[in-house]
Chains A and B, each alone.
Chain A
Amino acid sequence: DAKTTQPTSMDCAEGRAANLPCNHSTISGNEYVYWYRQIHSQGPQYIIHGLKNNETNEMASLIITEDRKSSTLILPHATLRDTAVYYCIVLNDYKLSFGAGTTVTVRA
């Protein structure tokens, strides 16, 4: 299974962009990169996913390097409500394997 490495925590100023890095150097060619977040003790919330190309939706942008060994989740204008644990996951055989994630704190 492809493993991911994320920083334990990061702070971000409200209104600024938050860039969350993720390393997945053992990813296989057909494995997707998914991002989820968990606010307090709620169920994880899907943010975005990608295979090779950069992706953007209403919540975030996902930048995947050309060699696919790392990616960056970008929250363009962070708000206090974006404070959460963010998980970068490589999907293996349908199964999501959650690591410790990055605790993101957005400060006013």
Chain B
Amino acid sequence: NAGVTQTPKFQVLKTGQSMTLQCAQDMNHEYMSWYRQDPGMGLRLIHYSVGAGITDQGEVPNGYNVSRSTTEDFPLRLLSAAPSQTSVYFCASSYLTGGYGYTFGSGTRLTVV
């Protein structure tokens, strides 16, 4: 099993550009989520999904869009990148039923200049 795969690992964007961060999991997990981590801080939840076709906002959703067309994929779209979105982005997945740990990807390091 590959687990949770995030691409790209590094990205530099100019202000105003758009891009999509990819996240894929091969564990048939229902739940998927996106977090951002700013330097020296904990992870903050951006968006999450409890299954294909179902998404919801976390604590810091502004400036980001998500969709969940398949169980495996949960892309995160930055519509118009801003320097404040410079961060490390982590994708995580899990089974919905309680008692299972979450699997995290290795992260995408995004710099907006």
Contacts and interface: CB of A to CB of B under 8 A. Distances in A.
Contact-residue bracket for chain B: 20 to 34
B77 interface: no
Interface residues of A, number: 22
Interface stretch (A9-17, A18-26, A69-77, A93-101): A93-101
Interface of B: 4, 31, 33, 35, 37, 41-45, 48, 50, 58-59, 88, 90, 92, 94, 96, 98-99, 101-107, 109
Given A94-B50, A94-B94, A94-B96, A45 B43 contact: no
Given A44-B102, A95-B48, 19 more contacts: A32-B98, A34-B102, A36-B102, A41-B37, A41-B107, A42-B106, A42-B107, A43-B90, A43-B92, A44-B104, A45-B104, A94-B31, A94-B50, A95-B33, A97-B59, A98-B35, A98-B42, A98-B43, A100-B41
Contacts of A101: 42
